[in-house]
Amino acid sequence: MSADSATGAAKVSRRRLLGWGGAGLALGVAATGGAAAAAIGVSDDPEPRLGDAVPFYGPHQAGIATPVQDRLHFAAFDVTTDDRDALVALLKEWTRAAARMTAGRPVGEGAVGGLPEAPPDDTGEALGLKPSRLTLTVGFGPTLFAKDGEDRFGLADRRPPALIDLPAFPGDDLDPARSGGDLCVQACADDPQVAVHAIRNLARIGFGKVSVRWSQLGFGKTSSTTPEAQTPRNLMGFKDGTRNISGTDTAALNEHVWVQPQDGPPWMVGGSYLVARRIAMNIETWDRAPLKEQEDIFGRTKGEGAPYGKKHEHDEPDLNALPADSHVRLAHPDSNGGARILRRGYSYTDGTDGLGRLDAGLFFLAYQRDIRRGFLPLQTRLARSDALNEYIRHVGSAVFAIPPGVRDAADWWGKELFA
């Protein structure tokens, strides 16, 4: 984030509040200006509330290599307008709103202090909350480039070859209502209300141009991009994310996550590709499986998370010591021609299924430089042979091109794509 822009935003809001009061407009804010200003986090302090805000501007979008927060609200949108200019205007407005929200500031003029006759610019439920390391990451789905053979936005020839439509994998049980999408926004934060507020406000801004196709709440990150931190556990009770790509490993990020100049297309350089899979777990069956069977399935111990034949979690796995159908052996880069992905998934529970079984699992999110060299070979192998398959079901799927970061306040999500 640019400190300037956040500071600027604060100054504008403050000035406007004072301006309205000075003009004697019947806004109610004149009398309560101080309280309102405090409520929306605007103060005389020229310094922005950097505290726990993650920078929004930069060469890559935040929310990929940046440290993983505790909560997720992910939304996939259908674009309901055919008007390219309206879509461009929306992406500009989304970018402006995202820059503000990630800095802990309300959208537009805020939730209070605006014209009483008009709906507030911001819905208000994040008033007084900290930025909570909110990151907002936008993506473009294959159907944005062309849908049912129709090139609605003149983008058909701009679709990156690396943004493939995934094949049907053995065992897939995909629900179309939980799959696909023209656009996506991944909101991650340490406070669930901050993540939900962000998606809600972006959806609200998009009213009449986009509609939410499906969305997913997540908790208890199941992967980490900070190897020094304690590895989180998934709902099966295993440490998940031990051997992930670290957010500070620039060489690995360039090799496996960020699109490079030689990859093209130019508008994607510095970006990445996201595969999202909703993977349901048969929790009750898993909970009745013996510990030894559970450990055999992963090829790691449940307590320490050590690979079979080794003592410690971060010891290098000896693949020959792992069962042939174990998840870790099959997913290891040595079994997949060196393929690596950056995992950033979350656990989810959506109540019960009517038969008393938990509707729960892993919302799997993986970033990669090219889906054809990342998720595709990995999932091809796992879908065929993984012992874990007895306990999981892939029920939702989507892929998105994640453009590079927004450079500054004049830039916006997708500027290069629509250039």
Ligand X SMILES: C=CC1=C(C)c2cc3[nH]c(cc4nc(cc5[nH]c(cc1n2)c(C)c5CCC(=O)O)C(CCC(=O)O)=C4C)c(C)c3C=C
- 3-class SS of residue 372: helix
Task: Check if the beta carbon of residue 185 is closer than 8 Å to that of residue 75.
Answer: yes
Of 300, 344, 369, 373, which lies in the binding site for ligand X, with binding defined by CB under 6 A? 300
Q: Minimum CB separation from ligand X for residue 341, in Å?
A: 6
Residue 387 near ligand X by CB under 6 A = no
360 interacts with ligand X by CB under 6 A:
no
Rounded to an integer, what is the distance from CA 297 to the centroid of its chain? Answer: 28
Q: Is 106 in the site for ligand X (CB under 6 A)?
A: no
220 to 239: interface string for ligand X, x by CB under 6 A: --------------x-x-xx
The secondary element (H helix, E strand) that includes residue 37 is: helix 29-39
256 sits near ligand X (criterion: CB under 6 A): no
Cα 189 from Cα 111, distance rounded (Å): 20
Of 20, 57, 214, 364, the one binding ligand X (CB under 6 A) is 364
Q: Which residue has the tokens 């998940």?
A: 240
Among 76, 196, 328, 401, binds ligand X (CB under 6 A): 328
Binding of residue 274 to ligand X (CB under 6 A): no
For residue 355, the minimal CB distance to ligand X (Å) is 20
Position among 178, 213, 243, 373 found at the interface with ligand X (CB under 6 A): 243
Binding segment for ligand X among 88-96, 138-146, 156-164, 326-334 (CB under 6 A)?
326-334
Phi and psi torsions of 143, nearest 5°: -75, -10
CA–CA separation, 399 vs 182, rounded Å?
10
Segment lying near ligand X (by CB under 6 A), choices 134-142, 153-161, 328-336, 350-358: 328-336
Residues 6+ apart with CB under 8 A from 228: none
Residue number, 13 or 242, with CB nearest to ligand X: 242
Q: Which residue reads 């004049």 in tokens?
A: 410
Strands 183-189 and 210-221 turn out to be unpaired
Rounded to the nearest whole angstrom, what is the least distance from the CB of residue 231 to ligand X in the complex?
A: 7
Closest CA to 369 of 163, 108, 228: 163
Q: Does 332 help bind ligand X (rule: CB under 6 A)?
A: yes
Which positions from 39 through 58 interact with ligand X, judged by CB under 6 A? none
CA neighbor of 77 nearest in space, from 163, 192, 200, 191:
200
Q: Is 178 helix (H, G, I), strand (E, B) or coil?
A: helix
Q: Name the minimum Å distance from CB 258 to ligand X.
A: 18
- Name the residue nearer to ligand X (CB basis): 178 or 243: 243
Q: Which of 68, 195, 362, 365 binds ligand X (CB under 6 A)?
A: 362
> Both tokens of residue 100?
């503000």
Structure tokens at 317: 């796995």
The size of the chain, in residues, is: 419
User: Which two three-digit tokens encode residue 78?
Assistant: 């259908």
* Three-class SS state of 361: strand
Task: Indicate which single residue of 375, 412, 413, 418 sits in contact with ligand X (rule: CB under 6 A).
Answer: 375
Binding test (CB under 6 A) with ligand X, winner from 68, 392, 401, 406: 392
The site that binds ligand X (CB under 6 A) totals a number of residues, namely 28
List the one residue from 378, 398, 401, 417 that touches ligand X (CB under 6 A).
378
- Shortest reach from residue 61's CB to ligand X, in Å: 22
- Asked whether position 413 contacts ligand X by CB under 6 A, the answer is no
Residue nearer to ligand X on the CB measure, 152 or 277: 277
Phi and psi for 150 in degrees, rounded to 5? -100, 125
Contact residue for ligand X among 36, 379, 402, 406 (CB under 6 A): 379
Q: Which is nearer to ligand X, 158 or 300 (CB)?
A: 300
Nearest distance from C-beta of residue 296 to ligand X, angstroms: 13
140-159 positions binding ligand X, by CB under 6 A: none
Environment class of 11 (CB within 10 Å of its CB; exposed 0-12, middle 13-18, buried 19+)? middle
C-alpha–C-alpha distance, residues 332 and 378, integer Å: 9
Residue 201 identity: N
Could you tell me the smallest distance in angstroms from the CB atom of residue 164 to ligand X? 14
In order of 22, 94, 229, 378, 416, the CA distances from 78 in angstroms are: 43, 15, 37, 28, 21
Identify which range of 3-11, 73-81, 106-114, 277-285 contacts ligand X by CB under 6 A. Answer: 277-285
CA angle at 73 for the pair 67 and 77, rounded to the nearest 5°: 120
In the complex, which residues of this chain contact ligand X (CB under 6 A)?
234, 236, 238-243, 277, 279, 281, 298, 300, 317, 327-328, 331-333, 341, 361-362, 364, 375, 378-379, 382, 392
